[in-house]
Amino acid sequence: MKKTNFSEWYNDILIDAQIMDVRYPIKGLYVWFPFGFKLRKLTYDVLRSLLDRDHEEAYFPLLIPENELLKESEHIKGFEEEVFWVTRGGFAELDIPLALRPTSETAIYPMFSIWIRSHADLPLKIYQLVNTFRYETKHTRPLIRLREITSFKEAHTAHASWEDAKLQTDAAVALYKEFYDRLGIPYIVSRRPQWDRFPGADYTLAFDTLMPDGKSLQVGTIHHLGTNFAKTFDITYEDRDGNQQFVNQTCYGISERCIAAVISVHGDDKGLVLPPEIAPVQVVIIPIYSKQADSEAILKACNELRDELSRYRVVLDTDDVRPGAKFYKWEKQGVPIRLEIGPRDLSKSSVTLVRRDTGKKESVKRSELQFRLAEAMINVLENITKKARAFLVSHTVAIEIPEQAKGKTGIFQISWCRSESCGRKLQELSDADVLGETEPMEGLCPICDAPTTIRALLARSY
Ligand code: ZN
């Protein structure tokens, strides 16, 4: 069903696997179930640990005064239709309307202007993990298109030179690659066309992955802001010669779309399939009783096993239901490894180990279990990564003319001269979006016949 009706599969799994409840009475706002929120926490723990290597976490207010939000004209043009406004406090009209942050540049940069004094303050690298609000008018969808983005990790950096900021965008790409590798999510990194760059940026790099329905999902963006915001918000530093210089800035973000990708890319018709590192339950132990056997001995062995495996997030399911019902329940929640102990396992001093990703069952000696389990955890990630990559690769196709992409799903590579008019024509003729520029190759722009080494990526996207 994931293959034939992805949209329905996606909506069902959010409820069935207890990720999100869509019944909150405001369009585009959803509720995290505790299980989903744990998945969110573990996923963002990975992201935090990567950022904490050389960024500092901070927090800026949700409300942004209108005059600050409107300062950068190109930036506000990109967002003005999506801003929620607070205009009243109690019964009193506010002197200055306050925006709910659609993104935080205009909350953070006035403070950067105060904080940054000299070259010794640079580079400055901070991030925050917050909610942001956008008045989406398109069809909203949990974790993908929301009016409250609940989990926006946004990093903001300031540097002495344009080149330093460029190096930071490269570092951010490397960081996001590491993050998505740990989630087993394949990606394509491209440079967004100039007409689709972040409002106020010199250029935008983006991570896209491919959803099971063949549409691309943008799962991360990285922006070189040059001195555009520094000039607007007067963010300067004194260089070594005593001259005032504008800083060069970058910002980069990831939202809960990373979780939408994990659910969609790895999940199957039985439910979630989770990378062990972020699985809220990594191992479930299920006792298999039978009439002839000594239930107490089995339960005792299961309890010992649970204690032995305390370094994992492990659950011993002793509920009074049939094993089959338990298998079904934990498969749905994507538990990577199931261990069963029944009479035969007990007599052989072994455990039955079942992998969620392959369904493969094997008997493992108790004495070898720790080792075999650690190995299985690594193999799960490797296997789901391989599968996901194979899907992306098999759905990425080089084409000669844009019409070849029409009515098809997947990602298409096509020569392009980089002009906006040809880019727009490519979009029109293929009925897809130009995601951006990918690795170069010699060719001719199919619209204007100009020789070029640039290739565009075309895809229908979320
Ligand atoms: Zn052209």
194-218 pLDDT per residue, tens = 999 988 899 999 999 999 999 999 9
Is 259 found in the same domain as 166?
A: yes
In the three-class reduction of DSSP (H, G, I as helix; E, B as strand; rest coil), residue 391 is classed as helix
Cβ atoms 390, 411 nearer than 8 A: no
Please check whether residues 432 and 356 belong to one and the same domain: no
Q: 315: how many CB neighbours lie within 10 A of its CB?
A: 17
CA of 458 to the centre of ligand 1 (A): 15
Residue 360 lies in a domain: yes
Among 239, 266, 293, which residue terminates a domain? 266
Q: What is the mean pLDDT of the chain?
A: 96
Helices 34-51 and 162-183: angle between axes, nearest 10 degrees = 140
Rounded-to-5 percentages of helix, strand, coil across the chain = 40, 30, 35
Residue 74 Cα to ligand 1 middle (Å): 26
Distance 421 CA to ligand 1 centre (A): 7
Q: If you measure from the C-alpha of residue 139 to the centroid of ligand 1, how many angstroms do you get, rounded to a whole number?
A: 33
pLDDT at 375 over 90: yes
Task: Read off the pLDDT band of 436 (50, 70, 90).
Answer: very high
Provide the domain limits for residue 33.
6-266
* 77 plus 199 within the same structural domain: yes
Contacts 24+ apart (CB under 8 A), 91-97: 96/65, 96/66, 96/67, 97/65, 97/66
pLDDT at 293 over 80: no
Which secondary-structure segment (H or E) carries 14? Answer: helix 6-16
Does 393 reside within a domain? Answer: no
Report which secondary-structure segment, H or E, holds 248: strand 248-254
Rounded to an integer, what distance in angstroms lies between the CA atom of residue 407 and that of residue 414? Answer: 16
Tell me whether the omega of the peptide bond preceding residue 123 falls within 30 degrees of 0, making it cis.
yes
Domain shared by 60 and 26, yes or no: yes
Specify the pLDDT at position 444. Answer: 96
Residue 58 sits in the same domain as residue 205: yes
- Inter-axis angle of helices 257-266 and 369-394, nearest 10: 100
Interval between CA 442 and ligand 1 midpoint (Å) = 14
First CA to last CA across the chain, in angstroms? 20
Q: In angstroms, what is the span from residue 209 Cα to ligand 1's centroid?
A: 26
175 pLDDT exceeds 90? yes
Q: What is the pLDDT of residue 74?
A: 81
Q: Bridge-partner residues for 205, per DSSP?
A: 191, 222
How many domains is the chain partitioned into structurally?
3
Q: How many A from CA of 73 to the centre of ligand 1?
A: 30
- Tell me the backbone φ, ψ of residue 124, rounded to 5 degrees: -110, 125
- Whether 273 maps to a domain, the answer reads no
Which CATH number characterizes residue 422's domain? 3.30.110.30
79 with 158, same domain? Answer: yes
- Domain with residue 311: its CATH number is 3.40.50.800
The rounded Å distance from CA 453 to ligand 1 centre is: 12
In the predicted structure, residue 292 carries a pLDDT above the cut 80? no
- Please give the distance, rounded to the nearest whole angstrom, from the Cα atom of residue 436 to the centre of ligand 1: 14
Ligand 1 center to residue 444 CA distance, Å? 8
Cα of 228 vs centre of ligand 1, distance in Å, is 29
In a domain, 386, yes or no: no
Its pTM surpasses 0.85: yes
Asked whether residue 274 is assigned to any structural domain, the reply reads no
Are 28 and 125 in a shared domain?
Answer: yes
- Once rounded to an integer, what is the mean pLDDT over residues 441-446? 94
Taking only the tens place, the pLDDT of each residue in 108-127 is: 999 999 999 999 999 999 99
- Using the mean position of ligand 1's atoms as its centre, give its distance from the Cα of residue 390 in Å: 31
- State whether 29 and 178 are in the same domain: yes
Same domain for 261 and 286? no
The alpha carbon of 215 and the centre of ligand 1 are apart by a number of angstroms equal to 25
Mean pLDDT confidence for 416-435: 95
As a whole number, mean pLDDT of residues 185-193 equals 96
For residue 146, tell me if it sits in a domain: yes
336 and 235 in a common domain: no
Residues 196 and 290 in one domain: no
How close is the Cα of 293 to the center of ligand 1, in Å? Answer: 75
Taking residues 277-290, report their average pLDDT. Answer: 96
Do 316 and 454 fall within a single domain?
no
H/E stretch holding 128 reads strand 124-133
Buried/exposed 181-195: b ≥16 CB within 10 Å, e otherwise:
ebbbbbbbbbbbbee
